[in-house]
């Protein structure tokens, strides 16, 4: 749209029903604060300016609500006197004279750009106030949208509605768009002559109509307008978000054997023809390229898995893990800040930290890169086509050359040249009959203890 638009995001609530030590809008959905989801939707709707009305945890909320795509200015609401009062906390921003002013809430993280766009279209067509509503088969408790001849004539609260009005299933979400040229004049007319002495944004419907303005409503999916007041509702929102994102990925060509067991982050990217087995968790910052396979019970965060690579089962990729094409990280392995080269294999029971593994290298079971000395971390470099035997410890900083062999059970503390064999273990000795003597002595000690009782 060529029209300018200011989004006013209300995020100053005390969150008392959340029973939390932090603001409700800071609670994460898909590993992202609720408020950030709302701001992302605002940005995707083409709005470049936002006024964030904050209260509790003001600085943290402002930080969480700051995203690159949009200019955000925060306004502190020191008193809680209703939604109309909250919007006017951003008076300075509204007064700049935007074409459209859109009011949203920081605890509606499932919202997308579509309802915002629909509301703005109605403003462009001449409406002064546009209410975003939703249809539900459980309307109890919601304000009903009463429409006559295509215009919204009232929002009737449950307690004030007649029996006939209670049958209406089109309900008020609280989200609203206002003609920016008239916004302040209309908002200033909201009074507080009610039982709570608060200023209700919904009064704009009657105020605008009394001024001869046009008021309409637009519809949006109920799930997108789901708000959050407690931990149970937060879990429902998480479930809905996950279901929506899984569906998007599967439609795009990603296979999930048991999608309900896969948990994604807000920024998880998975390419076409990737396969995700059951019980996989994706933390933030993950990219899975097409054709990769993530086996069951794996946990991946801050990692990149290239095409044709396989992970798991029971694998953990931590931030900085980067798996090249055709590589493998197998069961009960952990990779942190490690690059696994093309076709390289880290098959089982292995820790790779702060390391670079060359193409087609093989890392045996039980191998660890000893990257931390208690103060600093160091890098291990393992060359292409090298072979590291099982139960080896590579003490960083250390470099293993291309094609080198590390004997099983070795502790490697010095660099190993290309194509060399390195052994770092004590020579084996065999003591005939010594096991019998040790066993007899142990049995005698046990018998003496038993006799003493």
What are the catalytic residues?
348
The span from the CA of 326 to the CA of 292, in Å, is: 8
Strands 100-105 and 170-179 come out as: antiparallel
Measuring CA to CA, which residue among 135, 137, 101 is closest to residue 119?
101
CB atoms within 10 A of CB 121: 15
How far is residue 69's CA from residue 170's CA, in Å, rounded to a whole number?
Answer: 33
Beta strands at 215-219 and 129-135: parallel, antiparallel or unpaired: parallel
Rounded to 5 degrees, what are φ and ψ at 96?
Answer: -70, -15
Give the whole-angstrom CA distance, residue 323 versus residue 308: 10
């Amino acid at each position: 749209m060529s029209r300018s638009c200011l989004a006013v995001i209300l995020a100053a609530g005390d969150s008392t029903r959340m029973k939390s030590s932090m603001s409700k809008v800071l609670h994460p959905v898909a590993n992202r604060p609720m408020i950030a989801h709302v701001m992302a939707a605002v940005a995707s709707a083409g709005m470049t300016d936002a006024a964030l009305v904050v209260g509790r945890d003001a600085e943290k909320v402002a930080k969480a609500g700051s995203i690159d795509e949009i200019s955000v200015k925060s306004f502190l609401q020191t008193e809680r006197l209703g939604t109309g009062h909250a919007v006017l906390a951003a008076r300075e921003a509204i007064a700049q004279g935007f074409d459209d002013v859109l009011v949203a809430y920081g605890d509606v993280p499932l919202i997308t750009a579509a309802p915002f766009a629909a509301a703005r279209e109605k403003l462009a067509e001449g409406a002064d106030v546009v209410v975003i509503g939703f249809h539900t088969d459980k309307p109890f408790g919601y304000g009903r949208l009463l429409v006559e001849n295509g215009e919204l004539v009232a929002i009737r609260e449950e307690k004030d509605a007649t029996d006939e009005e209670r049958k209406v299933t089109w309900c008020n979400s609280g989200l609203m768009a206002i003609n920016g040229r008239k916004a302040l004049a209309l908002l200033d007319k909201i009074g507080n002559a009610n039982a709570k002495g608060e200023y209700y944004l919904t009064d704009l419907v009657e105020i605008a109509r009394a001024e001869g303005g046009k008021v309409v409503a637009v519809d949006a999916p109920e799930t997108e307008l789901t708000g959050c007041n407690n931990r149970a509702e937060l879990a429902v929102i998480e479930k809905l978000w996950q279901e929506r994102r899984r569906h998007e990925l599967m439609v795009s060509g990603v296979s999930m054997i048991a999608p309900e067991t896969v948990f994604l982050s807000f920024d998880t990217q998975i390419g076409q023809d990737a396969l995700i087995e059951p019980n996989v968790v994706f933390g933030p910052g993950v990219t899975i390229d097409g054709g990769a396979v993530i086996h069951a019970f794996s946990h991946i965060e801050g990692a990149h898995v290239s095409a044709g690579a396989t992970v798991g089962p029971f694998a953990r990729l931590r931030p900085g893990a980067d798996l090249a094409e055709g590589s493998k990280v197998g069961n009960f392995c952990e990779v942190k800040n490690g690059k696994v080269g093309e076709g390289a294999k880290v098959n089982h029971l292995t820790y790779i930290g702060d390391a670079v593994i060359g193409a087609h290298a093989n890392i045996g079971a039980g191998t660890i890169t000893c990257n931390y000395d208690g103060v600093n971390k160091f890098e291990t470099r393992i060359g292409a086509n090298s072979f590291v035997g099982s139960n080896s410890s590579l003490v960083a900083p250390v470099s293993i050359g291309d094609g080198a062999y590390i004997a099983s059970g070795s502790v490697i503390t010095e660099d190993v040249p290309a194509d060399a064999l390195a052994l770092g273990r004590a020579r084996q000795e065999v003591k005939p009959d010594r096991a019998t003597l040790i066993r007899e002595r142990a049995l005698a000690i046990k018998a003496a203890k038993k006799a003493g009782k």
